[in-house]
Structure 1
Amino acid sequence: MMAIQRSISLSKGDHYFRPDVPIFVNRAVEAFDKIEHRHDFLEISYVGEGSGTHYIGDQALQVHQGDIFLIPVGVSHVFRPAAASDSRPPIVYNCLMAVESIRPLLQSFPGGAELATLLDEPDWQQYRDAFGEFRRLFLKLYDAYTTKRSGWNTELHLAVLELLLYLHRYRDEPSSTAQEPISPGMEMALHIIHNRFHSPITLKEAAELSALGERQFHRKFKSRTGMTFIEYVQSARIDEACRLLRTTDRKVADIASSVGYHDITFFNRLFRKKTGLSPREYRKETGQAH
């Protein structure tokens, strides 16, 4: 029997990178018409929504929201939905970087030589976004690349440094950077905080998800995040409000409601406390017309 030859295309960085920006970021809704490919650049992919299959190298992996892949130069891969009629295909954020342009940046940065070892990984790596760190970073990367506000190139490079730092920690301390093991319930609580903005999540509910008492959960949560539960929830919701103010023309009251605040006076006060600006001032500063 003749072996079936897979068609694998070559993606070249010249197609994506600008002369002064060796980084490219996009958001792709994966479909069956996507062609398996390899590339001459490093790619870091984050499954932001949905689920499906990632064909990478000689493996087929089921992937879900929160999966991260480091894909070295020359490794073939493609994301595909679970089925042709899938209503929730994988939506993947991709950060591409030209290895030989990023290497000098890392080597010139204090401690960057350690991070540079990620550029030479011979094999692909898979990680899980246990605490929402990667989701926030990929949203920041995508926002910086697509809006191209003043200083966006600097913002992009700083976010890439932060991304490589997190991957370096996860690679060297795969069980997490925390001293205590990750609780699946804690991961679920953090997932809800970053995805269920429209309705409240209480400390009691989060503790129950983690199968912990409220006091124990609060202690573990603060140890991991550096914030109290309420501070963290408020920060996550104001971060989402900032994103909506930058990227949409929705009314401030509508945005406040969508991130769980129906008292506009309280929202405005909290927003100013977190950002130093009112929502309208923030929108004006970041260049989004109302």
Structure 2
Amino acid sequence: MTRTSQKIPQYKGAEHYHGRFPLFLNRYRENFMLPMHSHDYIEICYVAEGQGEQYIGEERIRVSRGDVFVIPIGTNHVFRPPSLQKQHSLEVYNCAFAPELFRPLDLRAYPVAASFLAETGEGRPWFRIKDSELLLIPLFDMLHEEFQQVLPGSEEVLLAGVIQLLAYLHRYRAAAGIGRSPHIPDSRMQAALQYVKNHFHEPLTVRAMASQCNMSGRHFHRIFKNTTGQTFTGYIQHLRVNKAGELLRHTSRTVQEIAAETGYQDAEFFTAVFKRIQGVTPSQYRKNAAQ
């Protein structure tokens, strides 16, 4: 996807804030109209429903419910749903705010918030966390409702809610053993990911990849999941299904031929995996793409 031919817009938070309170929240159904963009505020994005992709910087990342992205000021990104079909919708909570949100606080008493601000200034790397148990959904629901209602005391409730959100994100990172941005793997994991992307159609196992990285299988799987937000098997399945979708859209090969080309000798199993990820069978996917 080439993005150098056009200027990437930067959105201004002041256009969305309630008065002088530098925060806004929305729940947005992603589409193909919003361009790649950056903004002059910090954004915490939470995938509430569906699945799709996030283009961020020069990367393209598969996303699903429970994915949390922390987008620093000035970072280029955009979400995309799998298609315009209703059953393929991708809905994302966006909690966006300027660093000035915390100005009323003495940040010496809020070290987690202070650390977060230091990590999300312009030029800092983005990071991703997986809320596997969907524990943050009630908090995002509450923040979204509070922002829409604008009741007396809403600013205090929203500020407290954002601090609570930052505390949970800090805990998730600590529990995962992440001392730096989890999307930046070490050189061994970078090499492993590149190998998987080049050989996803071949039989691959955690054991073999762990040995290649000189790690135990358990340690490799933990680092792999922290880096990608997916299990090793899930990551490969998404790579295979993405390639299969491309072949279904652009070639006349049969479903069985595409299954074999993407690493599945059992066409029925391939169809089951494809439907679980895309929501439709390969044949229906091809039909929808042709409409």
TM-score range, shorter chain: 0.5 to 0.7
* Paired letter, 1:120: A
Out of 141, 159, 175, which is 1:173 matched to? Answer: 175
Match in the other structure for 2:101: 102
Q: 2-side partners of 1:77 and 1:6: how far apart?
A: 14
Q: 1-side partners of 2:3 and 2:93: how far apart?
A: 33
- SS of the equivalent of 1:133 reads coil
Match in the other structure for 1:53: 53
When residues 91 and 45 of structure 1 are mapped into structure 2, their CA distance, relative to the original with a 3 A threshold, is: same
The answer to whether 1:37 aligns with 2:45 is: no
Q: 2-side partners of 1:16 and 1:3: how far apart?
A: 26
Q: TM-score, normalised by structure 2?
A: 0.55
Match in the other structure for 1:84: 84
* Paired letter, 1:172: A
Q: CA deviation at 1:167?
A: 1.3
Q: 1-side partners of 2:81 and 2:6: how far apart?
A: 18
C-alpha contact 2:107 2:113 (8 A) present in aligned 1: no
Out of 116, 132, 138, which is 2:114 matched to? Answer: 116
Deviation string for 1:14-47 (max 9, x for gaps)? 2122343111001100001111110110000101
Q: CA deviation at 1:4?
A: 5.1
Out of 145, 148, 152, which is 2:147 matched to? Answer: 145
Deviation string for 1:184-229 (max 9, x for gaps)? 9xxxxxxxxxxxxxxxxxxxxxxxxxxxxxxxxxxxxxxxxxxxxx
RMSD over equivalenced CA pairs, Å = 2.6
When residues 55 and 27 of structure 1 are mapped into structure 2, their CA distance, relative to the original with a 3 A threshold, is: same
C-alpha contact 1:115 1:168 (8 A) present in aligned 2: no
Match in the other structure for 1:281: none
Match in the other structure for 1:161: 163
- SS of the equivalent of 1:82 reads coil
Q: CA deviation at 1:174?
A: 2.0
Match in the other structure for 1:203: none
Q: 2-side partners of 1:3 and 1:63: how far apart?
A: 21
Q: 2-side partners of 1:74 and 1:50: how far apart?
A: 26
Deviation string for 1:116-167 (max 9, x for gaps)? 2212221111011123221111101101001223321111111001011111
C-alpha contact 2:14 2:22 (8 A) present in aligned 1: no
C-alpha contact 2:51 2:64 (8 A) present in aligned 1: yes
C-alpha contact 1:129 1:135 (8 A) present in aligned 2: no
- Structure 1 runs (4+) greater than 4 angstroms displaced: none
Q: CA deviation at 1:102?
A: 2.6
Unpaired segments ≥5 residues, structure 1 = 177-181, 185-290
Q: 1-side partners of 2:174 and 2:3: how far apart?
A: 39
Q: How many residues align?
A: 176
Q: TM-score, normalised by structure 1?
A: 0.56
When residues 96 and 7 of structure 1 are mapped into structure 2, their CA distance, relative to the original with a 3 A threshold, is: same
Q: CA deviation at 1:106?
A: 5.0
When residues 109 and 139 of structure 1 are mapped into structure 2, their CA distance, relative to the original with a 3 A threshold, is: farther
* Paired letter, 1:104: R
C-alpha contact 2:108 2:114 (8 A) present in aligned 1: no
When residues 24 and 80 of structure 1 are mapped into structure 2, their CA distance, relative to the original with a 3 A threshold, is: same
Match in the other structure for 1:277: none
Q: 2-side partners of 1:67 and 1:123: how far apart?
A: 17
Q: CA deviation at 1:3?
A: 8.4
